[in-house]
């Protein structure tokens, strides 16, 4: 168990007495963080918070999975114009806590109806996906892994426009965004660069009383291939003899391929009762990723300072087939290539569901303590949400977590 | 207030304490007139600050953790101060919107309201004098 972050956290806690610190000139410094301990029961696969993490818990207590720290500086220049910058230190690609710039943008609000931002912003694929790292803002220890875990794209560089329009007692809000990703994702011991991949999309939400309904869609155009060049190159070299091998290499290309993400979210939030339900569907033009459907339901009910919650989530993906045209059992090199293709195809398969129980205790001003139990039941070939699964992986694990979330 | 003597007894019995009655107020000569619950909610939760009259409201909040803050959000939305804080944590750290300006006491709030006809705030009914106009009586309905 590594707790390298703990001294830094404790120092921060000791020095953060106030909800906000204002400097002359109106620059405000705020922050948020989580100190978590996470343990997955199975030793056969590493449980991670999302696919941005290359290592996770396999039968041991881990502090990395759910611990992070964020700092934000914001300056409201005048009522219309603001500058915001935010850095986050979380365990991610490279297996370290190297800080990353999560947002750095100019926000312009010409009137009450429109907000325009230019710069780096958190991605907003689904309802609540732009606040995934702000544990204090939600009930659970982490956003549902089945639903949000496959979405490791954290921020984009570009612009977004938000519009609000009242309709009687309801509020209709829309958002459009466009820009480029700029991060890397771990893939086994390698990295897949997302830099230059284009993102565009929007969402429409209707809010009435305790109800919020939101439809979202996002289109991603990838710029770089997965780091599987030895498979693709060998398939291409064999194309003159085995045309299907050339076709297979093309189908595994991710550069130039696009992925679409659609989702529908419903929230009912009334006094002590909080209910969320979401559905999503992701489709990919490349054969390297399987199309998936995911969903979750979650309900929490506050009693005093404690809010117990219960949830259920699932993710399922559709298997793909890809013929390399290489005969098996003829040459070891062919068998190796066929196995490589099969493993790329199998890598993004998901078939599992999770039942979650937990509670959030708002124990002190700006602090929330949460404990959570997840029971994950899946098929042995459900390996997409995990890292480094062994042959003995049976698709089942239980996760116990405790986290202290705070803001300052 | 004879009832105040009963308060320790009420607390002892675990009954909910009597909350101060809160009202939403503006300067007496402000163009902002009566508001509905939806408008008040939209203004103070940073959803939409434009009123049906076309006016822009400038909400002023009291500190999270103050008795007035707790009473206002409890009566209006049945939400605790911690829940309101969590709500704003999401909006502030995703950079969507700036939170309402916060002043540290009802007296400061009163000063701001008297300076700025667009300013809108909440205070205990007993503190609303003739210099102010009550635009919304805070209730859960």
Q: What confidence category does residue B139 fall into, taking pLDDT thresholds of 50, 70 and 90?
A: confident
| Residues whose CB is less than 8 angstroms from the CB of residue A406 and which lie 6 or more positions away in sequence, other chains included | A13, A16, A32, A33, A34, A136, A366, A367, A368
> A321 and chain B: CB distance < 8 Å anywhere?
no
DSSP secondary-structure letter at A78? S
Cα(A175)–Cα(B35) distance, rounded to whole angstroms? 27
DSSP secondary-structure letter at A88? E
Q: Which of B51, B93, B101 to mutate to test the interface with A (most CBs of A within 10 A)?
A: B93
Tens digits of per-residue pLDDT, A263-307? 999 999 999 999 999 999 999 999 999 999 999 999 999 999 999
Q: Are B47 and A171 in contact (CB < 8 Å)?
A: yes
> B65 and chain A: CB distance < 8 Å anywhere?
yes
Cα(B4)–Cα(A386) distance, rounded to whole angstroms? 59
Q: How far is CA A159 from the centre of its chain?
A: 20
| Residues whose CB is less than 8 angstroms from the CB of residue A51 and which lie 6 or more positions away in sequence, other chains included | A149, A150, A152, A185, A186, A384, A385
> B87 and chain A: CB distance < 8 Å anywhere?
yes
CB pairs < 8 Å spanning A and B: 86
Q: Output the pLDDT for position B3.
A: 52
Q: Which residues of B touch A302 (CB under 8 A)?
A: 80, 83
A347, A350, A352, A353: CA torsion to nearest 10:
130
Q: What confidence category does residue A189 fall into, taking pLDDT thresholds of 50, 70 and 90?
A: confident
Distance from CA of A280 to the nearest CA of B (A): 22
Tens digits of per-residue pLDDT, A67-117? 999 999 999 999 899 999 999 999 999 999 999 999 999 999 998 999 999
> A22 and chain B: CB distance < 8 Å anywhere?
no
Tens digits of per-residue pLDDT, A116-157? 999 999 999 999 999 999 999 999 999 999 999 999 999 999
DSSP symbols for B38-92: HHHHHHHTTS--B-TTSPBPEEEEPPTTSHHHHHHHHHHHS--HHHHHHHHHHHH
| Residues whose CB is less than 8 angstroms from the CB of residue B5 and which lie 6 or more positions away in sequence, other chains included | none
Going A23 to A27 to A29 to A30, the CA torsion angle's sign is: positive
Q: How far is CA A270 from the centre of its chain?
A: 27
Nearest to A76 among B77, B78, B98 (CB): B98
Of residues A250 and B53, which shows the higher confidence score?
A250
Going A229 to A230 to A231 to A232, the CA torsion angle's sign is: positive
Tens digits of per-residue pLDDT, A215-224? 999 999 999 9
DSSP symbols for B108-141: HHHHHHHH-TTEEEEEEGGG--TTEEEEEE----
């Amino acid at each position: 168990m590594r707790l390298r972050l703990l001294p830094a956290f404790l120092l921060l806690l000791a020095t953060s007495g106030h909800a906000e610190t204002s400097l002359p000139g109106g620059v405000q410094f705020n922050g948020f963080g989580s100190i978590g301990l996470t343990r997955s029961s199975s030793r056969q696969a590493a449980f991670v918070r999302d696919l941005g993490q290359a290592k996770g818990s396999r039968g041991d207590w881990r502090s990395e999975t759910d611990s992070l720290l964020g700092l934000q500086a914001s300056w409201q220049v005048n009522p219309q114009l603001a500058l915001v910058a935010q850095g986050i230190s979380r365990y991610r690609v490279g297996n370290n806590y190297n800080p990353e710039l999560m947002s750095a943008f100019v926000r312009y609000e010409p009137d009450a109806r429109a907000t325009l931002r230019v710069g780096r912003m958190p991605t907003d694929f689904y309802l609540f996906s732009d606040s995934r790292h702000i544990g204090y803002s939600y009930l659970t220890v982490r956003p549902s892994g089945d639903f949000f875990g496959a979405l490791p794209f954290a921020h984009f560089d570009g612009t977004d426009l938000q519009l609000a329009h009242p309709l009687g007692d309801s509020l209709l809000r829309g958002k459009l965004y466009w820009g480029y990703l700029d991060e890397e994702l771990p893939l086994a011991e390698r990295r897949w660069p997302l830099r230059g991949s284009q993102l565009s999309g929007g969402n429409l939400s209707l809010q009435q009383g305790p109800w919020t309904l939101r439809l979202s869609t996002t289109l991603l155009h990838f710029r770089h291939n997965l780091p599987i060049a030895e498979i693709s190159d060998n398939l291409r070299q064999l194309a003159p003899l085995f045309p299907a091998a050339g076709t297979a290499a093309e189908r595994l290309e991710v550069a130039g391929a696009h992925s679409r993400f659609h989702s529908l979210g419903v929230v009912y939030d009334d006094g002590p009762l909080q209910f969320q339900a979401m559905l999503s569907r992701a489709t990919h033009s490349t054969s390297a990723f399987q199309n998936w459907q995911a969903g979750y339901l979650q309900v929490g009910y506050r009693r005093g300072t404690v809010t117990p919650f219960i949830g259920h989530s699932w993710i399922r993906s559709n298997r793909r087939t890809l013929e390399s045209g290489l005969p098996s059992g003829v040459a070891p090199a062919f068998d190796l290539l066929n196995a490589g293709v099969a493993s790329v195809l199998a890598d993004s398969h998901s078939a599992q569901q999770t039942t979650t129980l937990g509670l959030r205790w708002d124990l002190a001003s700006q602090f929330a303590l949460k404990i959570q139990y997840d029971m994950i039941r899946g098929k042995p070939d459900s390996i997409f949400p995990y890292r480094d699964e062994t042959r003995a992986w049976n698709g089942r694990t239980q996760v116990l977590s405790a986290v202290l979330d705070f803001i300052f | 207030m004879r009832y105040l003597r009963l308060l320790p007894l009420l607390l002892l019995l675990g009954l909910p304490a009597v909350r101060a009655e809160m009202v939403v107020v503006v300067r007496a000569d402000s163009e902002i007139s009566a508001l509905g619950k939806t408008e008040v909610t939209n203004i103070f939760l940073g959803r939409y600050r434009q009123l049906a009259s076309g006016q822009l409201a400038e909400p002023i909040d009291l500190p999270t953790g103050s008795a007035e803050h707790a009473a206002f959000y409890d009566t209006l939305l049945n939400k605790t101060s911690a829940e309101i804080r969590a709500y704003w944590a999401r909006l502030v750290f995703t950079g969507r919107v700036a939170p309402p300006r916060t002043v540290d006491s009802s007296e400061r709030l009163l000063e701001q309201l008297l300076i700025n006809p667009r300013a809108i705030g909440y205070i205990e009914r007993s503190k609303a004098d003739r210099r102010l106009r009550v635009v919304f009586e805070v209730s859960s309905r």
